[in-house]
Amino acid sequence: MTTAINQKLLHNIRRTTREMVRKFGFMNRTLAGTDYSPSAVHALLEIDERGSCTAKWLSERLYLEKSSISRMLKTLLKNDEIEEYKSENDGREKLIRLSAKGKKTVSGIHAFGNNHASYALSKMDSDDRQIVMNGLELYTSALSPDREVITNNEVTFHSGYTDELIGSVTSLHSRIYSDIAGFGAYFEALVGKYYSEFIMRLDNPKNETWYAVLNGNIIGSISIDGDDLDKGQAHLRWFVVDPTIQSKGTGKQLLQMAMDFCDEQGVDEVHLWTFKGLDAARSLYERHGFKLVIEEWGNRYGKKVLERKYIRSNPLRN
What was the pLDDT predicted at 254? Answer: 94
Q: Is the pLDDT of residue 251 over 60?
A: yes
Domain membership flag for residue 1 = no
| φ/ψ (deg, to 5) at 45 | -65, -40
CB 86 within 8 A of CB 36: no
- For 37, the 3-state DSSP assignment is coil
- Same domain, yes or no: 179 and 299: yes
> How many C-beta neighbours within 10 Å does residue 138 have?
9
Most confident of 2-11, 77-86, 245-254, 271-280: 77-86
Residue 308 bridge partners (DSSP): 274, 295
CB 255 within 8 A of CB 284: yes
Among 141, 174, 203, the domain-final residue is 141
- Same domain, yes or no: 175 and 94: no
- Same domain, yes or no: 109 and 161: no
Among 82, 114, 141, the domain-final residue is 141
The domain that holds 284 is classified in CATH as: 3.40.630.30
Domain membership flag for residue 248 = yes
Range of the domain at 25: 7-141
| φ/ψ (deg, to 5) at 281 | -65, -40
What was the pLDDT predicted at 317? Answer: 61
Give the angle subtended at the CA of 292 by the CAs of 289 and 296, to the nearest 5°: 160
Q: Which of 80, 79, 75 is nearest to 100 (CA)?
A: 80
What was the pLDDT predicted at 150? Answer: 41
Domain membership flag for residue 2 = no
The domain that holds 80 is classified in CATH as: 1.10.10.10
Query: Amino acid identity of 269?
Result: E
CB 225 within 8 A of CB 198: yes
> SS3 letters for 70-98?
HHHHHHHHHCCCEEEEECCCCCCCEEEEE
Is the pTM for the entire model greater than 0.75?
Answer: no
| 28 compared with 273, residue with greater pLDDT | 273
Domain membership flag for residue 47 = yes
Domain membership flag for residue 126 = yes
Among 106, 141, 176, the domain-final residue is 141
Query: Amino acid identity of 305?
Result: V
- Same domain, yes or no: 44 and 83: yes
- Same domain, yes or no: 80 and 32: yes
CB 235 within 8 A of CB 224: yes
Domain membership flag for residue 149 = no
- Same domain, yes or no: 313 and 175: yes
- What distance in Å separates the CA atoms of residue 77 and residue 126, rounded to the nearest whole number? 42
102: exposed, middle or buried (Cβ count in 10 Å: 0-12, 13-18, 19+): buried
Residue 9, CB half-sphere, CA atoms under 13 Å: how many? Answer: 3
User: For 28-44, what is each residue's pLDDT tens digit?
Assistant: 777 888 988 888 999 99
Q: Which of 263, 313, 314 is nearest to 37 (CA)?
A: 263
Tally of domains within the chain: 2
Q: Which of 105, 107, 95, 111 is nearest to 36 (CA)?
A: 105
What was the pLDDT predicted at 147? Answer: 43
- Same domain, yes or no: 175 and 272: yes
Percent of the chain exceeding pLDDT 90 equals 41
- Same domain, yes or no: 122 and 185: no
User: For 134-175, what is each residue's pLDDT tens digit?
Assistant: 888 788 777 755 444 444 457 889 999 988 899 999 999 998
- Same domain, yes or no: 136 and 214: no
Domain membership flag for residue 119 = yes
Domain membership flag for residue 150 = no
- Same domain, yes or no: 136 and 163: no
- Same domain, yes or no: 292 and 195: yes
33-40: long-range contacts (C-beta < 8 A, 24 or more apart)?
A: 33/108, 33/109, 33/112, 34/105, 34/108, 34/109, 36/75, 36/76, 37/72, 37/264, 39/64, 39/68, 39/72, 39/264, 40/72, 40/75, 40/76
Specify the range with the lowest mean pLDDT, choosing from 51-60, 84-93, 209-218. Answer: 84-93
- Same domain, yes or no: 188 and 135: no
